[in-house]
Structure 1
Amino acid sequence: MNHDMPSPAGATDVVSTHSVFGTPCWVSLTSRDMKTTEEFYGAVLGWDWRPVRLGDRFRIALSEGRPVAGIAAVAGMWRMAVAWTPYFAVRSADEAAGRVQERGGTTAVGPISLPPGRAALLADRDGATFGVWEGELFTDWPTWRRAQLAFVRLHTRDAFDAAIFYGGVFDWASDKPGGVEVRYEGEEVVLRSEGDVVARIESGAAESAPDPSVRPHWQVHFAVKDVAACAHAAERHGGSVLSLGADEAVLRDNEGAQFTVVSRRAR
């Protein structure tokens, strides 16, 4: 659950989900053990850590002093999966949760009040988990997008169907100021906010039938200077390398959470 959204520093510079909506605004990792999680991601992604008011099971990850992700070491205690989850900015968490249910998705947690906003943990109709956040974002939100988070990608059985589902929930391609642009590029649905690619949806070739073997999930992609070095560090610290290319590697951390690193030059 998104209990580790950093609070804004000052009211005058606050960016709100009412003016920026439908785009990923935060990512959070549910883990089992904070110490090993800190050691792993410190070694692989160079992160430092900041405590939050909720206690020792929660941290904010910092890259070069900037908040990039939240960590919640509650997977065992709350019987949750060890996994990365993206959160999307919405004008109303309650309305977004209602739209998800109307379209055949489910609500796992919330919506609940987490000052300075409201949050919910949801799943689409194919089971892919994601969160929504309503309220204030931290002041350097555009910098967060460009600091280390490259984008999030939905691996699903039918990209076209998924785009319709999420478009209805998040008002994608709505012509409203601050919204998300949606384009079909090659065999992917590509989403842009203020010119930046923020999300991709893929399911294979457009002419192929939906793949029943795909377990739908959102994958977080972090931009790094050296993909190979991250892959080697992951292996040295108890993780594994699922695939490795010149500009991208799919990694699994020491507790099983999957994520991707991409070269900054390939973004």
Structure 2
Amino acid sequence: MNQDPPVSCGRSEGAPRRRDVVSTHSVFGAPCWVSLTSRDLEATQDFYTAVLGWRWRGAKLGEHFRIALANGVPVAGIAAVAAMWQMAVAWTPYFAVPDADVAVARARERGGTAAVGPLSFPPGRAALLADRDGATFGIWQGELVYNWEVWRRARPAFIRLHTRDAFDSAIFYGEILDWASEVSGCEVEYAGGEVLLRYQGDVVARIDSGAVEAAPDPSVRPHWQIHFAVSDVAACARAAEKHGGSVLSEDEQEAVLRDADGAQFTVTSRSHR
């Protein structure tokens, strides 16, 4: 796996008491963690410290893994295993599910693939999957990192799937993750060419394929994009360039960046969340 088990993130210094830890049985269908696969651990830490101000601690999975902290809150996992495990350098979102085996079976039945897992990381289970268009995502069953609401508001603003057909993808993920069911807490909203996933009213994920009247774009390479909320988009972009990264696009509210290892992510103004 390319992340420390989410439950271990709640054991850092200043972690909440047990009552603050919730499980995927109370928060499921929504994104619950993000993880980066990289090649060089030290270089990756230096880059994200400079760009996002993160601090670091060790992870239970070993010396190749780190947990990123924002204001003491665990916000992301870093794994320097891309070369060792022959994996792509990329950010991956993880979704909370009540049963990992059921979710993996549903994905396979609908044309998706399981690259890793489900694997046991007591007290939970995880798997790395790809949808039928090749976009990679993970699932997690068990206790969630820190307090879920605190984690979600500490850094990630939302995640966005860039794909060829937003509505077809929404059906795929909705059937796997039980979106719009009475118990998941997730609601699906169709807005133009975009599908919005809301949890308790807040947008936590978007699926985009362009204007609703346009045909699916065969040139789009489907992937999940992680959006991190920041106070100063321009400052993050300049820091990325200074520390070996690049800026793919930029405006006042948002910038698409590439880190020094090649992984793509987005910084979004907190006022634009």
TMscore range, shorter length: over 0.9
- 1:19, distance to aligned residue in structure 2 (A): 1.3
After TM superposition, the structure 1 = structure 2 runs for residues 108-257 of structure 1, keeping only pairs within 5 Å, are 108-176=115-183, 178-257=184-263
SS at match of 2:204: strand
1:36 pairs with one of 37, 40, 43: 43
Alignment partner, residue 29 of structure 2? 22
Q: Unaligned regions of 5+ residues in structure 2, if any?
A: 12-16
Residue deviations 1:193-233, cap 9 Å, x none? 11211000000011111100000000000000000000000
Separation of aligned partners in 1, 2:137 and 2:146: 23
Contact in 2 for aligned 1:171/1:179 (Cα 8 Å): no
Aligned-residue RMSD, C-alpha:
1.0
The amino acid across from 2:209 in the alignment is S
SS at match of 2:244: coil
The equivalent position to 1:93 in structure 2, one of 67, 86, 100, is 100
SS at match of 1:15: coil
Q: Secondary structure of 1:221's partner? A: strand
* 1:71 maps onto 2:78 in alignment: yes
Instruction: For residues 44-88 of structure 1, give each alpha carbon's deviation from its aligned partner in whole angstroms, at most 9, with x where no partner exists.
Output: 000000101222210000011111100000000000000000000
- C-alpha displacement at 1:138, in angstroms? 2.9
What's 1:60 paired with? 67
Q: Distance in 2 between matches of 1:167 and 1:22?
A: 8
Partners in 1 of 2:96 and 2:147 — Cα distance? Answer: 15
CA contact (8 A) 1:6 1:60 kept: no
Query: Retained in 1: the 8 A contact 2:91–2:225?
Result: yes
**Structure 2-normalised TM-score?**
0.95
Q: Distance in 1 between matches of 2:243 and 2:18?
A: 40
**CA distance in structure 2 between the aligned counterparts of 1:242 and 1:13, rounded to whole angstroms:** 39
Residues 36, 92 of structure 2: 8 Å contact kept: yes
2 CA distance for matches of 1:265 and 1:179?
A: 25
Extract unaligned runs of 5+ from structure 1.
none
- CA offset at residue 115 of structure 1? 1.5
Amino acid at match of 1:202: D
Deviation at 1:6, TM superposition (A): 4.2
**What fraction of aligned residue pairs are identical, expressed as a percent?**
71
| Distance of 2:63 and 2:146 partners within structure 1 | 25
State the number of aligned residues: 266
Is the partner of 1:205 in helix, strand or coil?
coil
Deviation at 1:116, TM superposition (A): 1.9
1:261 aligned to 254, 263, 267, which one?
A: 267
Q: CA deviation at 1:3?
A: 3.5
Q: CA deviation at 1:120?
A: 0.2
